[in-house]
Amino acid sequence: RDQALLQTFTTERDIELKRDRDLQQIELGIANNQSILKNAEKRLAENRARADAFTKGAKPIPDGLKQDIESDENEKRRLESLIGQKHQELGVVREKYDDYKRRFAELRSSPSMSTCSAQAAASPPGPAPKK
pLDDT in tens, 10-66: 999 999 999 999 999 999 999 999 999 999 999 999 999 999 999 999 999 999 999
Our measurement of the distance from residue 131's CA atom to the centroid of its chain's CA atoms, rounded to an integer in Å, reads 42
List helix spans (H) across the chain. Answer: 2-8, 12-56, 63-109, 111-122
Q: What is the pLDDT of residue 110?
A: 77
Confidence of residue 112 (pLDDT cuts 50, 70, 90): low
Using alpha carbons, select from 36, 20, 120 the residue that is nearest to residue 72: 36
Q: What is the mean pLDDT of residues 92-98?
A: 96
